[in-house]
Amino acid sequence: MAVSIPEPFFPQASPWKAAFAGSLMVLGLLLFGAGCFTRREHSAKLQEKEKQEKLRRAKEEDQRAEDEALKATDELQADLGQRNSAYLGDE
């Protein structure tokens, strides 16, 4: 006496399905890693850009302050020249 059990009753996993699932998982991990790396690099670039913008603004403010100081110096020199000529002219 023999019992015959048809093959579909005990399905066997195909080896390509396991390889496909493993490949998808590795690909997903690689994509996730690449995304994290890209995001970190982008954040670093943004921080560097903001830092350079702050330095540029500080430089512009320093230049503006220097120009104002030079203008004030020129005005004081002109006023001193007028007072000097008035003083020397009165003698």
81/75 Cα distance (integer angstroms): 10
Higher pLDDT, 25 or 10: 25
Sketch the domain layout of the chain as residue ranges: 29-90
Q: Which residue has the tokens 């994509």?
A: 31
Residues 65-89 as b/e (b if ≥16 CB within 10 A, e otherwise) read eeeeeeeeeeeeeeeeeeeeeeeee
- pLDDT confidence of residue 29: 98
Instruction: Tell me the per-residue pLDDT of 35-69, one tens digit each, with 9 for 90 and over.
Output: 999 999 999 999 999 999 999 999 999 999 999 99
The pLDDT of 16-24, averaged and rounded, is 90
- Whole-number mean pLDDT of the chain? 89
32/39 Cα distance (integer angstroms): 11
- pLDDT confidence of residue 12: 67
The pLDDT of 25-30, averaged and rounded, is 98
14/48 Cα distance (integer angstroms): 52
